[in-house]
Homo-oligomer: A and B are copies of this chain.
Amino acid sequence: MAIKPSCLSPHQIEAVLKRSGINPTAQRIAICRFVLCDAEHPSAEDVKVWVDQNFPKMSLATVYNTLKILVEAGLLRELRLPHSEAVLYDNNLNAHYHFLDEETGELLDVDPVDVRLEPALSEAYQIHSVEVLLRGTRNPA
C-alpha cells in the first residue's frame, strides 16, 4: 500500500552513510544492507540474528549503537508498537501508518491516503504528527 524504498547496493549504502556524516565501517554497512533494504520492521534482535549469519563476531552493542546512529541520522525510524516489547526499526521514511495482522503478526505499511484522517480538534490544538495503528486481519485475496 505504500512504496518501499528500493534496495541499495553496498556501494550505494556507503554513499548514503557518508552523505549523512556517518563513517561507513564494515559493520555499519553490513547492518544497513539488512536494515535499509530487506528487513521489514526488524527488532534489534532480528538484526542481530541476521548479522550473526552474515557478519560473524559483531557484538550486540554495535548493533544497538549502529541502529541508534541511523535513527539519529534520519535513515531509520523507531517504532514502538503495543504488541511488541522491543523497538522496531522502520526504513520507510515516507509518512505512513501501520496495519497489524492479528493472525500472522505481520506489520504492514499503510498509505495515509487510504485512511482518510482529518482531525477537527479545536484550534487550541496544534497537531505536529499523527500515528495510526490499525489492527485486523486480511482475507486470503
Residues of B within 8 A of A82 (CB): 78-80, 131
Chain A: interface secondary structure? strand
| Alpha-carbon gap, A116 to B130, bound state (A) | 13
Total chain A interface residues with beta-carbon distance under 8 A: 35
Choose among A82, A119, A123, A127 the residue with the greatest number of B CB atoms under 10 Å from its CB.
A119
| Alpha-carbon gap, A120 to B99, bound state (A) | 13
Interface residues of A (CB under 8 A from B): 1, 78-82, 99, 102, 110, 114-121, 123-139, 141
Shortest 7 CB-CB contacts between residues of A and residues of B: A127-B136, A80-B82, A131-B133, A117-B117, A128-B136, A116-B118, A126-B136
